[in-house]
Amino acid sequence: MKGMNLIIVGLSLIFTIAAFGGESGKIPVSDHFNVRDYGAAGDGRTDDTDAFQKALDVAGQAGGGIVLAPRGNYLFKGHLNIPNAVTLAGIWQSVPAHNGIRNPGLPKPTDDGTTFLITGSANKEDGPAFITLNTNSTLKGVVLYYPEQNVNDVPKPYPWAIAMRGKNPAVLAVEMLNPYNGIDATRNERHLIRDVHGQPLRRGILVDSIYDIGRIENVHFNPWWSMKPKLFQWQMKNGEAFIFGKSDWQYVFNTFCFGYNIGYKFIRSKGGVCNGNFLGIGADDCYTALVVEQCAPYGLLITNGEFVSFHGPDPTMIEIMETNTGSIRFSNCAFWGPCNQIAKIAGTGTTGFADCTFVQWGGKEKNRPAIQAQNGTVLIRGCEFRQGRPHIQLGKDVRRAVVTGNVFTGPKQITNESEGNIQIALNVSD
C-alpha cells in the first residue's frame, strides 16, 4: 500500500509539471514585465525610450504579456512599438483628469500616476507616431503629455500620439492631455478606443481604411489644458475633433468635443467613405458641429446627438457639402446656438431629420432659415422648431422633399422654390 501511495504521488507530480511547464517540464515565465527592471528611471529627466522598448520586446518574444509602467514621469525622446499581444499599462484603471503636469525638471516626479512626457519628433508632423499598436496590443491607464507645448501660443506640430494597426488594437483609459495629433486609427480591423479624454489641438481621432467594424466609446475632448486666447483661437480655426474616411460600419457611442473648427467630419479618402452608427454624440462651440463631404449610400445613422455652434465666421450646426451623394439621418437630436443656421444641405444625397428639436437660429438679422436645402432629397418629420423665424427653405434644385408632422412656433415659415416632387402636410403651428 505504501508503494502504491508513492506511485500516485509521483504521477501527480509529473502531471502537475506537465500541466504548468509543458513538454519541457519548465515552470512558465512570467507574463508581467516592469519597465523599472529594464532601466526606466521615471524621473522626468532621463530618456526612457530604450528601456521601455526593451521591456516591450521581451514581452513580445515571450508571446505576449503586460508591461507595467508604475507611478512616475517617463521622458521619451523617441517612439515606441508595442508588439502583438502586448499591453503597455500604467496605474490608472479609469481615465484621469489633469489641467497640467508638474514641471518634469523638478527632482520629485508627479506623485499621482503614470505620465509619459513626449518630446521626440517636434516639428515633424509626418514622422512616426509616438506609440504604434499592433495586432491584439493595448495601451492602457497612462497620461500623454507634451511638455514643450506652450499654453498660450500656436501649437508646435508633432506626429500622431498613437497609431493603431493590425487586428483588434485597443486604447483604454488614456488621457491625451495636449497632443498636436491624437489617435491615427487607420489601416486596422476592429479597433477599440474607450475612455479617452484630453485636448488634441489639431486632430483628435482619424478613422480610415477600416474594413471590419471599428468602435469608439466614451471619448471626451475638452480644453482642460488651455483656453488661453492665442492657442485656443488657433484650435478653433484649425482643429478637427473626429474625422472619418473609409470605415465599413463604424460604431461611435457617447463622444463629445468642445472648441474646434469642425466637430465631426466625414470625408472621401483614397480608401472610400464612411457608414456607421453614431449614438449620443455631441459637439459644443464648434464653428461647424458636423460636416459631411461624402458618405456611403447606406448611410450615417446619428441618434441622440447634441450640436451647438455660436462662434466663427458663419456658425452652422450641420453642413452637407455639394460633393455628398450618400444618406444621412438625424434622429432625436437637439440643435441650439445661438447660431446662423441649423443646417445647410447640398449634394445629391438624402438628408433626414426625425423627432429633432431646433433652437436659436437666424443670425444677427434673424432672417436665416433653420434648414436651407439647395438640392438633393430632404426629409423633415416630427421635429419641433422653437422660434418664430424662417423655418425651412427648399431651393429650386431640391429633387424630393417630405415635410410632415412638424411643430412650428409662430406661423409656419416654409419657402418652397423647388421644381421637384415636394410633399408638405400635417404640420402644426401656433
Q: List the domain range (segments joined by +) for residue 430.
A: 239-430
Q: Are 75 and 182 members of one domain?
A: yes
**What element of type H or E holds 237?**
helix 229-238
Res 100: pLDDT: 67
Q: Are 189 and 280 members of one domain?
A: no
Q: Are 153 and 210 members of one domain?
A: yes
Question: Per-residue confidence at 27, pLDDT binned at 50, 70, 90?
Answer: very low
Closest CA to 391 of 422, 428, 421, 419: 428
Average pLDDT rounded to a whole number, residues 73-97:
96
Q: Are 22 and 135 members of one domain?
A: no
Count helices and strands in the chain by DSSP H and E runs: 3, 38
Cell of 207: 478613422
- Spatial neighbors of 210 by CB under 8 A, at least 6 apart, are 185, 186, 188, 189, 191, 246, 247, 248, 250
Instruction: Inform me whether the pLDDT recorded for 392 exceeds 60.
Output: yes
Q: Are 244 and 363 members of one domain?
A: yes
- Domains identified in the chain, total number: 3
Q: With respect to residue 292, please indicate whether it lies within any of the assigned structural domains.
A: yes
Q: With respect to residue 57, please indicate whether it lies within any of the assigned structural domains.
A: yes
pLDDT in tens, 340-361: 999 999 999 999 999 999 999 9
Q: Are 114 and 209 members of one domain?
A: yes
Of 162, 188, 219, which residue constitutes the final position of a domain?
219
Q: In the block, which residue shows the cell 512626457? A: 117
- Spatial neighbors of 345 by CB under 8 A, at least 6 apart, are 318, 320, 351, 371, 372, 373, 374, 375, 376, 378
Q: How many Å apart are CA 59 and CA 32, to the nearest integer?
A: 8
pLDDT in tens, 149-164: 999 999 999 999 999 9
Instruction: Inform me whether the pLDDT recorded for 12 exceeds 50.
Output: no
8 Å CB contact between 311 and 287: yes
Question: Per-residue confidence at 56, pLDDT binned at 50, 70, 90?
Answer: very high
Q: Are 262 and 391 members of one domain?
A: yes
Q: Are 173 and 305 members of one domain?
A: no
Tell me how long the chain is. Answer: 430
Q: What is the CATH number of the domain that holds 153?
A: 2.160.20.10
Res 29: pLDDT: 59
8 Å CB contact between 76 and 45: no
Q: Are 190 and 268 members of one domain?
A: no
pLDDT in tens, 163-205: 999 999 999 999 999 999 999 999 999 999 999 999 999 999 9
Q: With respect to residue 230, please indicate whether it lies within any of the assigned structural domains.
A: no
Whether the predicted model's global pTM rises above the 0.75 cut: yes
Q: Are 117 and 266 members of one domain?
A: no
Q: Are 410 and 295 members of one domain?
A: yes
